[in-house]
Amino acid sequence: MMQKHVLAFDLGASSGRAMLGRLEDGKIVLEELHRFPNDPVQAGGRLHWDILRLLHELKQSLLKAKHRGIKLSSIAIDTWGVDFGLLGGPGNELLGNPVHYRDSQTDGVMERLIGELSAETIFDRSGIQFLTFNTLYQLEAMKKAGSPLLREAKHFLMIPALLRYFLTDEMHNEFSLATTTQMYNPVTGDWDDELLKAVGADRSLFGPVVQPGTPVGRLSESVCAELGIEPVPVIAVAEHDTGSAVAAVPAKDRSFAYLSCGTWSLIGTEVSEPVMGAKALELNFTNEGGVYGTYRLLKNIMGLWILQECRREWERAGVKYTFPELVAKASAAEPFACFIDSDDELFLPPGDMPGRIREYCERTGQKAPENEGAFVRAILESLAFKYRYALEQTGQLSGVTYSGLHMVGGGIQNTLLCEWTANAIGKPVWAGPIEGSAIGNMLVQWITNGELSDIWEARRVVGDSFPVDVYEPKDGPQWEEAYVRFLAATGLTG
């Protein structure tokens, strides 16, 4: 008999994937069933999600499973935070293509709203870090632009909830993603009326919020008829990709530090209560919803995005490098030649990253890199130092001294970054698994289906199933000395 599988749709910035997973002899067996592009589309002056193409790819994945005779016990979707679609009209149609968070509509909006409401009010009511693209500011931007969509809308759904709606006809927003909007109040456990009012969003749009691990319907009759398949249960997991990645950290200790490393770097720890208060606000930490009653106390670091964009720029100029080629060039370049603060707002939008790094170096009185290896070295060393900076702040907020750092996600394939992170933090890095988000997505499906008992058993199974590479710190004195120079060059305080 064919074994039962779960299917995890993980929609990331570099691609979307449909991953099949099954449990066999206490281990997870993973297989990539389908991979597809997830490129944003610039149209009418806005950067959009290509949402219907993604729905098509989700259906293609279901067809592939059918053609292979695979029996699915459930499916679930995760993607990045903050983005959403609006539905309205007589048939609850999608109103416009969802806008991508890297679009410029939110430029200057956060500062203005903070001016009106105060940072303290927004943070006290949400516990969420200030990122210019949070949903709160996207809605405010639409309001200020006089968008008719907000007036017409009857329902607001985060992207996985929107895709689920297309597949099941049911509407439920999920907790981990709801928190990323900066409009969900973790103290009251509900959408925050004052924040919604401030951006002119009617409360009735949002509906109740379900926890990760909630069954949220089955594939609709029309989808099943279209694809010629049986109805499969659909589960709301931690639909925020970072929430799923943290669920998959193979930690044994209940207090652990993690770095989910991909286009973004998310560094922090898991806590049972949100850490609010002045210090968290000052350090601009966030309390995003996690699995099974937890919160993710973490900080966003701009991450490998800067490297990805450099690579794209060099490709536009006619030279196509692979990441391993770039890493080899970095390894041969001069160490600690210049530093950037990867979270400078210069680096957020897509574009000419080498040019922006040059601009950053000029602004901070440093000699700019002159070749690809030097650029990549500056990016990776600076990232490793920013990780140290944020890890120390995590410890200040949680009161815990961590014995090392778990790294998960596609970024750990960059072994130089793992090595340098261990050197920068002066502690071991435990790297694995690579497929953090897809695995975390599956774990919650298995717990919901009763195949795993709880998150700690699930994390043990992850540890038993995938290699975890250990990087011990080296060259301590050089990295210590360079860290001081990093802080001075970037203007960060130690």
- The position carrying tokens 């490998």 is 304
- The count of chain residues that interact with ligand LFR, using the rule CB under 6 A, is 11
Query: If binding is defined by CB under 6 A, does position 385 make contact with ligand LFR?
Result: no
241 counts as catalytic: yes
Closest distance of CB 238 from ligand LFR, Å: 11
Question: What is the rounded CA–CA span in Å between residue 264 and residue 266?
Answer: 6
- Residues 82-101, interacting with ligand LFR (CB under 6 A): 82, 101
Of 78-86, 140-148, 157-165, 455-463, the segment contacting ligand LFR by CB under 6 A is 78-86
Is the CB of 101 or the CB of 387 nearer to ligand LFR? 101
Closest distance of CB 118 from ligand LFR, Å: 23
Closest distance of CB 404 from ligand LFR, Å: 22
Closest distance of CB 214 from ligand LFR, Å: 20
- Residues 418-477, interacting with ligand LFR (CB under 6 A): none
Closest distance of CB 10 from ligand LFR, Å: 10
Is the CB of 306 or the CB of 361 nearer to ligand LFR? 306
Of 77-85, 249-257, 269-277, 465-473, the segment contacting ligand LFR by CB under 6 A is 77-85
Closest distance of CB 129 from ligand LFR, Å: 8
Is the CB of 265 or the CB of 423 nearer to ligand LFR? 265
Closest distance of CB 101 from ligand LFR, Å: 6
Is the CB of 8 or the CB of 461 nearer to ligand LFR? 8
Q: Are strands 16-24 and 233-236 parallel, antiparallel or unpaired?
A: unpaired
Among 9, 80, 184, 375, contact with ligand LFR (rule: CB under 6 A)? 80
Of 32-40, 263-271, 426-434, 463-471, the segment contacting ligand LFR by CB under 6 A is 263-271
Contacts 24+ apart (CB under 8 A), 196-202: 198/113, 198/116, 198/117, 198/140, 199/113, 199/136, 199/139, 199/140, 199/143, 200/139, 200/143, 200/150, 201/139, 201/150, 201/156
Question: What is the rounded CA–CA span in Å between residue 27 and residue 446?
Answer: 12
User: Active site residue: 78, 192, 241, 344, which one?
Assistant: 241
Among 122, 266, 391, 452, contact with ligand LFR (rule: CB under 6 A)? 266
Question: What is the rounded CA–CA span in Å between residue 318 and residue 299?
Answer: 35
Is the CB of 81 or the CB of 98 nearer to ligand LFR? 81
Q: Are strands 405-408 and 257-261 parallel, antiparallel or unpaired?
A: parallel
Query: If binding is defined by CB under 6 A, does position 49 make contact with ligand LFR?
Result: no
Closest distance of CB 80 from ligand LFR, Å: 3
Is the CB of 411 or the CB of 473 nearer to ligand LFR? 411
Task: State both tokens at 259.
Answer: 């770095």
Of 51-59, 89-97, 259-267, 413-421, the segment contacting ligand LFR by CB under 6 A is 259-267
Query: If binding is defined by CB under 6 A, does position 81 make contact with ligand LFR?
Result: yes
In the shown chain, the binding pattern of residues 215 to 254 toward ligand LFR, with x for contact by CB under 6 A and - for none, equals: -------------------------xxx------------
Is the CB of 294 or the CB of 300 nearer to ligand LFR? 300
In the shown chain, the binding pattern of residues 300 to 319 toward ligand LFR, with x for contact by CB under 6 A and - for none, equals: x-------------------
- Residues 400-429, interacting with ligand LFR (CB under 6 A): none
Is the CB of 148 or the CB of 349 nearer to ligand LFR? 349
Query: Which residues would be at the binding site for ligand LFR (CB under 6 A)?
Result: 80-82, 101, 240-242, 263-264, 266, 300
Residues annotated catalytic, as ranges: 241
